[in-house]
A and B are shown apart, each in its own frame.
Chain A
Amino acid sequence: MIEHGKPSSHPRFFSFLLALGIALIFVATLFSVAFAKPSAQVDGEALFIAKGCNACHTIGGGKLVGPDLQGVTELRTNEWLTKWLTAPDQMLQTDPDAKALLVEYNNVPMPNLGLKPEEVAALIAYLGGGATISGATAELPAGDATSGKAYFVGDKRFENGGPHCISCHSVAGIGSLGGGNLGPDLTTSGFVQSDAAFASFMGAPSTQTMGAIWANTPLTPQEQSDLYTFLSRAAVTKREPSALLQIALLAIAGAAALIALAQVYWGKRLRGVRKPMIEQTLAARKRINAK
């Protein structure tokens, strides 16, 4: 039978919705532009702390996770700094200086903080202003590594209902299979190399992904401390070779188990009819002739 391409009514309906949506967005933008308040002078220092820069950087207080930022405005041009603060992830791909910095600082990348242009300008002004600031200080209670591990792998729930680390991160010391692959492997992460950096980062995560997750379900200080204690202990420069071997062996054993299972389940599958028939008949004839 020949089928006729009957024009479906769906495309029309869909484009109508689309047009409506675009119109709404347009109107909303007009309003927000018209009524936006002229932004007040952004306070550089407050921003430096609010965005958690001091988790990794000091000004005049020496290296932490990242470099001491004293005199950075003399070292780099304004243009470079603007680019860097706006999109460090892109710079890390293209800029040779940025790449060198990454290597120097244990491959801990500068995260993209999603800063607005006026915020970038405020930060650069603040950095060039000669102020000093020390790194965030840890005000964490004593932590318990066992409980930290339980939080990490999900044996214990976070008080505010945040997701367990293992769903996105892996770390050495949680079994051969490790954890998720969505976020960086925390085994070698720079963020767990000082409790101050960790606490400050987890207190107000500055990266876009982490910020979105933890803004509404923050960790309590005790949870931060437990996690830090666990993670800093787990933190080694590299996975143990034996752990890698374990993963390889597990993969092989798993595959073998699946194959064995399939063999058992489909053991009686049809393995050809003609060839076995001929072979059996010829073998039977040979037996008779031999007698």
Chain B
Amino acid sequence: MDIRSHVSMVFHLDKCIGCHTCSVACKNIWTDRKGTEYMWWNNVETKPGTGYPTQWEDQDKYKGGWEREEDGKIHLRLHGRKKGLSNIFFNPALPTIDDYYEPWTYDYENLFNAPEGDDQPTARAVSMITGKPMDTIEAGPNWDDDLGGSPLYARNDVNLDDLTDDEREQLNELERVVFFYLPRICNHCLNPGCVAACPAGAIYKRGEDGIVLISQEKCRAWRMCISGCPYKKTYYNWASGKSEKCILCYPRLESGQPPACFHSCVGRIRYLGVLLYDADQIEKCASVPDLELVAAQRNMIQDPFDPEVIKCAKANGISDAMIASAQNSPVYKFVKKWQIALPLHAEFRTLPMLYYVPPMLPVLAKTDKDGKYDVAGLDNEGLPAMISSLAKARMPIKYMARMFSAGNVKEVEDVYRKLIAVRIFKRAQKVKDYQQAEVDAALAQGATNPEEVEAIFRLTSLPTYEERFVVPPLGREVAVEAWEKPLERKTEAGFGVRNKIAKRKF
């Protein structure tokens, strides 16, 4: 066993209200510089929808992530060695700026300086790339925000491809609208496509916490990582000529704070903590057939209380404080103990370390011929209908499986059964309108028990700051004081190259 530690994440989608506070927090700190205006290291998408960049999940187009051969080996979808070399000066799978969006601002000055005239002055939109006025703005990073039923965007969500017409109709059942939010950041994968695709060897994963970073000194602008990452979470800065990505706010982590998007999250959907995993299993896990991916990935994560695991961790130089942090980790609970958090698009085979608790299926209802809502009389496998039904979910289970379990319907159903059990249990406790028999049936179907349900409820609904963010003691900021004065850099800000890149010296 080669035990390593990884700062990992859980997003509880039930709680996301789609406010984009996280995106704005991130933008204000990291991507308000020239060349980065179009980047949203954190973005929030409406699902069903096409996301940002448009249809990023369609790897037939973008060629991101890994592909499994028939012999069980995996290779980068983008290219192997030969093709990589022949494409080195021209990567044919790059998104265009239009697929992200052309960033713009407004000519606010005109509101003050316009000469007197018959009409109110206006602030025209101005491109932040060319500086020229933009007459029509056609796209934005969350252009299809809340357009759950839109025939232009929602219909083109690639996750809907496998659905039958009936299942698609389910989406339209109530007011023709259904959607949930999907906040996304870099997943800091265990088998990252971005790292594998980089010809310059500029991308690396930090040993102690697994954060994936692009060295601004080594990046040579080949832009293969842009295609290699199936989540499109590396971005090319056209002003500096280097690629950039989410750094999981490591300077904040090093001083004991959670990343800015986590800290600012209004819905408190974000959890951060350490996972211990077995690095020997990475290749094997990334190569199993689609339907086994989620289970294999869960298998890699090791129990931080197991003495054997602790021994191996220590042999690898993982500190006691780090192990204690892993034992406290909310991520470990969601992902491994309760098994209700799943990786996004496991079929890309990058082994993402950001897990999602899928959103509750929206209340099941139909409108009758008078336009009234009708929730009664729906079959829900013997459970009260009001909460939800797996069979007739408005967000079809197949759709959820395509997103969160590489198509394995059973994985997602198991998660939902447990989540439904939690709701029925708590409702029976508080509102007291369910029979004990119904509660017992729900607990049995969800393969859970009252203690577990209470624990899930507590960490979902009432967690404290310290329970949500168990930041391990990285202590670099403290350690660095030994040879550097941290405050000296206090007046400098931003991203980029600290050491001037000079010609190689003798």
Contact = CB atoms under 8 A, between A and B. Distances in A.
A278 B61 CA distance: 15
Interface in B467-499: 476, 480, 483-484, 498-499
B50 to A, nearest CB: 7
Interface string B241-268: 0000000000000000000000000000
A8 B505 contact: yes
Interface in A1-26: 1-5, 8, 10-11, 14
A274 B98 contact: yes
A286 interface: no
B55 A3 contact: no
A113 B452 CA distance: 98
A282 B95 CA distance: 22
B377 interface: no
B505 A277 contact: no
Interface in B159-204: none
B151 A285 contact: yes
A268 interface: yes
Contact of B499 (A3, A268, A273): A3
B293 to A, nearest CB: 26
Contacts of A270: 61-62, 92-96
B506 A11 contact: yes
B61 A274 contact: no
A281 interface: yes
B150 to A, nearest CB: 10
Nearest to B152: A281
A272 B55 CA distance: 11
B92 A269 contact: yes
A275 interface: yes
B413 interface: no
Contacts of A269: 90, 92-93
Nearest to A278: B152
Interface residues of chain B: helix, strand, loop or mixed (majority): loop
B485 to A, nearest CB: 11
Contacts, number: 60
Contacts of B99: 272-274
A266 interface: yes
Contact of A272 (B93, B96, B506): B96
A281 B156 contact: yes
A2 B484 contact: yes
A168 B62 CA distance: 48
Nearest to A262: B90
Interface in B35-53: 50, 53
B98 A275 contact: yes
Contact of A277 (B50, B94, B151): B50
A11 B506 CA distance: 6
Contacts of B498: 2
Nearest to A8: B505
Classify chain A: how many residues form its interface, as a range. 20 to 34
Contacts of A268: 92
B269 to A, nearest CB: 28
B220 interface: no
A273 B93 contact: no
Contacts of A271: 96
Interface string B208-248: 00000000000000000000000000000000000000000
Contacts of B96: 270-273
Classify chain B: how many residues form its interface, as a range. 20 to 34
A274 B152 contact: no
A274 B151 contact: no
B156 A277 contact: yes
B23 interface: no
Contacts of B50: 274, 277
B139 interface: yes
A273 B55 contact: yes
A190 to B, nearest CB: 45
Contacts of B53: 273-274
Contacts of B151: 281, 285
A265 B483 CA distance: 53
A7 B95 CA distance: 43
B155 interface: yes
Contact of B506 (A1, A4, A10, A281): A10
A275 B98 CA distance: 8
A271 B480 CA distance: 47
Interface string B130-160: 0000000001000000000001100110000
Contacts of A277: 50, 54-55, 156
Given A10-B505, A278-B152, A281-B155, A272 B499 contact: no
Contacts of B93: 269-270
A282 B54 CA distance: 16
Contacts of B54: 273-274, 277
A273 B95 contact: yes
Contacts of A4: 483
Interface in B93-126: 93-96, 98-99
A272 B90 contact: no
Nearest to B227: A270
A2 B489 CA distance: 11
A193 B86 CA distance: 50
A8 to B, nearest CB: 7
Contacts of B505: 8, 10-11
Contact of A266 (B92, B152, B156): B92
Interface string A255-291: 0000000100110111111110110011001000000
Nearest to B489: A2
A106 B61 CA distance: 64
Given A270-B61, A277-B54, A281-B152, A2 B480 contact: yes
A270 B54 CA distance: 13
Contacts of A266: 90, 92
Interface in A40-78: none
A285 B152 CA distance: 10
23 contacts: A1-B476, A2-B480, A2-B484, A3-B499, A4-B483, A5-B499, A10-B505, A10-B506, A265-B86, A266-B92, A268-B92, A270-B61, A270-B92, A270-B93, A270-B94, A272-B96, A272-B98, A273-B61, A273-B95, A273-B99, A274-B53, A277-B55, A278-B152
Interface of A: 1-5, 8, 10-11, 14, 262, 265-266, 268-275, 277-278, 281-282, 285
A-B complex: 7 closest residue pairs judged by Cβ atoms: A269-B92, A274-B54, A273-B99, A10-B506, A272-B96, A266-B92, A14-B506
Given A262-B90, A277-B54, 18 more contacts: A2-B498, A269-B92, A270-B62, A270-B93, A270-B94, A270-B95, A272-B98, A273-B58, A273-B61, A274-B53, A274-B98, A274-B139, A275-B98, A277-B50, A281-B151, A281-B155, A281-B156, A285-B151
